[in-house]
Amino acid sequence: VGQIRERGRKGALTALRDAALLKTVYAYGLRRREAYGLDLADRRHSPTAAQYGRYGAWFVRWGKASKGGPPKRRTVLTVPEMDWIVEVLEHWVTEVRPLLHPGPLAAVWVNERAGRMSMRSINEAFASARQAAGLPTELDLHCLRHSYVTHLVEFDYPERFVSEQVGHRYASTTALYTGVSDEYRRRLIRRALQDRTELWEQR
């Protein structure tokens, strides 16, 4: 956004939108279609996290369907480790989105023509960010979902919680997404050694 403004070029608003969109995909582990289908009415208060206001959770209506079935629905909670997303979303919804003149449109992510942002445009937003960051072209939007799962595991959230957050029916599916860091593995080893030492001391 800063580079666009410095060059006096158009597109600062859409760059702000794309940044907020990609951060939201990561902060909630969303699939592309799930992000595409978000409406303002899908914002939810969380009884256990009142400080997040209307961004305590999202009601996801376009989850991946089972074969022949309707889209699955779920509520995705805002986790404290990623609560920076609340400020991002508030800024987008209250200050930036209105500048695109969406009128009565319910969609969270809107385009320059005051319509719902397309799934192709969502892919293009990721591709632009990937190129700007110098990341490999093999990466696609779904890698943000993989990162989300990995980080929830590293934050020590229970397997069942992680699966419910991302809408996986089986924990084994969630496990396929996980690629924990070396630091996390070292932490697990240190914890296991500490527990073992304490057990021996108790004996």
Which residues are annotated as catalytic?
A: 31, 67, 142, 145, 168, 177
Q: Reduce the DSSP state of residue 62 to 3 states and report it.
A: strand
- DSSP secondary structure of 80-132: GGGTHHHHHHHHIIIIIGGGG--TT--BSSB-TTSSBPPHHHHHHHHHHHHHH
Cα angle: 36, vertex 126, 151; to 5 degrees: 85
Give CA–CA dist 166/145, Å, rounded. 8
